[in-house]
Amino acid sequence: MTSPVVNAKSEAQTYIDSVFEELKYKYAHQKEFLQAVEEIFISLVPVFEQHPEYIRHNILSRVVEPDRIITFRVTWQDDQNNVQVNRGYRVQFNNVVGPYKGGLRLHPTVNESIMKFLAFEQIFKNSLTGLPIGGAKGGSDFDPKGKSNSEIMRFCQAFMTELYRYIGPDVDVPAGDIGVGGREIGYLYGQYKRIRGAHEAGVLTGKQPGYGGSLARKEATGYGLVYFVEEMLQDVNQSFLNKNVVVSGSGNVAIYAIEKAQHFGAKVVACSDSNGYIYDPEGIDLKVLKEIKELNGDRISTYLNYHPTAIYTEGCNGIWSIPCDIALPCATQNEIDGEAARTLIANGVKVVAEGANMPSNLEAINEFLNHGVLFGPAKAANAGGVATSALEMAQNSGRDYWSFNEVDEKLHGIMKSIYVQSKKAAEDYGFAGNLVVGSNIAGFVKVANGMLNEGVN
């Protein structure tokens, strides 16, 4: 006779495997989406062993199918009066915890698989923040690089002319992601307001401060990442002081991760863009970096005009060969593969924490975990951005405006709480020290219980 424990275990594993097999069959071509699902499913085995009711209510098959995928044509005119066409998306994945919430990405690689992986991860990230926000993502294959300000404005207006009918402060609240910052959110909001004829500030977050935007939202993802790592380090009696840090990317998340890491006494020696990376053994000059990226919108290679002793290398992946104590991938998905992870480990990396979404592939994650590297997964480590978006929603609906310090302190508290929840869930389910399992479980359980409460729908 087999013991009930063995029975329950095999039932959970069999159930999870069967849902994943079906998903692979249905969406064989959506490799990023399947990757994101696989990472979560591996973590959930102990949860389903303890909660057979999740199997009875078929929670997994329900949670991997988006509530709806909206996709539309975006037609706009460039500066030469040529008519241009792009594809727009909004994936409204799950609104059990709150209104759909998640960023908009403008990048030529955007497709349905990337939108689905981002929206799927957003469900559990948003649940971890402890704030009432569900999971969504959107964007377009529009390439903002080389476009004039007027072209960006016309594109954003055309995009919102399609999107407006599907969003609202209590329905779905988009924000920024790759290629979308305060300028784009401003144009999107302007068009929404023009169509709706009403000031519904809470329909978008990441607006400019002074016009409904929250102070500290711009800084929040990068700062939050560093606050999260600070918690990881404190647990092993360490700190950022005098640590060598490598940060990939040089966009919104990277810049403010660098700022806060430097503030805590770290030396950030490298950063990158999609063309190449800068290694500055003196420490990255943040004022110069902001001038290049935020003011001029230039390539990172122009850093050499200010600091000729720094080294520029063409191609972005080589950045992981620079020895460091702490690596913060803040550019894009799958930027760290198994080989890059092994190089980082051989060079003595102690902590890796993800500012970008899914920057490490599964092989890389396993390398880090198996070699005792402290690993902060994206869902937990980069949740500060969306958490502060939820604080912006709170300010908008309360017709209030909080100081920078007030928002920053709340952000800091939320990052601590995410760390504690993730660590505790890992311990409770027998995976002490594994924040991947911990954050996936902590994020998932709340969503699953909400789905049970709301009945079959």
CB 396 within 8 A of CB 337: no
| Residue choice 34, 128, 386, 415 for contact with ligand 2IT (CB under 6 A) | 386
Smallest gap, in angstroms, from Cβ of residue 125 to ligand 2IT?
A: 6
Q: Any contact of residue 178 with ligand NDP (CB under 6 A)?
A: yes
CA angle 296–299–300, rounded 5-degree value: 110
The CA–CA distances, whole Å, from 76 to 86, 103, 110, 156, 365 equal 9, 22, 18, 9, 41
Using the rule CB under 6 A, is 231 a contact of ligand 2IT? Answer: no
Convert residues 95-124 into a mask of x (bound to ligand 2IT by CB under 6 A) and - (unbound).
------xxx---------------------
Query: Which two tokens mark 251?
Result: 């966009």
Q: Which of 75, 84, 72, 85 is nearest to 167 (CA)?
A: 72
Show which residues are catalytic.
137
Stretch that binds ligand NDP, among 76-84, 170-178, 230-238, 344-352 (CB under 6 A): 170-178
Least distance (Å) from ligand NDP to the CB of residue 258?
A: 11
Mark out the alpha helices in 166-251 (DSSP H runs). Answer: 182-196, 217-234
CB of 180 to ligand 2IT, least distance (A): 8
Which entry of ligand NDP, ligand 2IT, none binds 244, CB below 5 to 8 A by partner kind? none
- Min dist CB 447 to ligand NDP, Å, is 19
* Binding of ligand 2IT by 443 (CB under 6 A): no
- Contact flag: residue 385 with ligand NDP (CB under 6 A): yes
- By CB under 6 A, tell whether 389 contacts ligand 2IT: yes
Q: In what order do the strands lie in the sheet with 68-77?
A: 68-77, 83-94, 135-140, 100-106, 172-176
Helix (DSSP H) and strand (DSSP E) numbers for the chain: 17, 12
Regarding 49 and contact with ligand 2IT (CB under 6 A), the answer is: no
**Residue 238 touches which of ligand NDP, ligand 2IT, none (CB < 5 to 8 A by kind)?**
none
Q: Name the residue number minimizing CB distance to ligand 2IT.
A: 103
Rounded Cα–Cα distance for residues 288 and 290 (Å): 5
- Should residue 176 be labelled a site residue for ligand NDP when binding is judged by CB under 6 A? yes
What the block records as the tokens of 381 is 């480590």
- How far, in Å, CA of 121 to CA of 190, rounded? 29
* CA dist., res. 256 & res. 356, Å (int): 13
Based on the shown chain and the rule CB under 6 A, indicate whether residue 377 belongs to the binding site for ligand NDP: no
Of 190, 254, 198, the closest CA to residue 223 belongs to 254
Cβ distance to ligand 2IT smaller for residue 66 or 385: 385
Rg, the chain, Cα only: 21
Which residues make Cβ contacts (< 8 Å) with residue 408, sequence separation at least 6?
Answer: 216, 219, 223
Choose which of 330, 426, 442, 448 interacts with ligand NDP (CB under 6 A).
Answer: 330
Near ligand NDP in 274-313, by CB under 6 A: 274-275
Total interface residues for ligand NDP by CB under 6 A: 23
Name which of ligand 2IT, ligand NDP, none residue 249 binds, using a CB cut-off of 5 to 8 Å depending on partner kind: ligand NDP
Residue 177 sits in the site that holds ligand 2IT (CB under 6 A)? yes
How many angstroms separate the CA atoms of 218 and 224, rounded? Answer: 11
Token readout for 237 is 């009696």
CB 437 within 8 A of CB 426: yes
From 30, 140, 244, 382, residue interacting with ligand NDP (rule: CB under 6 A)? 382
Tokens representing 336 are 């760290």
In the region spanning residues 247 to 266, those forming contacts with ligand NDP, defined by CB under 6 A, are 249-254
**Contacting positions for ligand NDP (CB under 6 A):** 176-179, 221, 249-254, 273-275, 316, 330-332, 355-357, 382, 385
**Contacting positions for ligand 2IT (CB under 6 A):** 101-103, 125, 175, 177, 205, 357, 385-386, 389
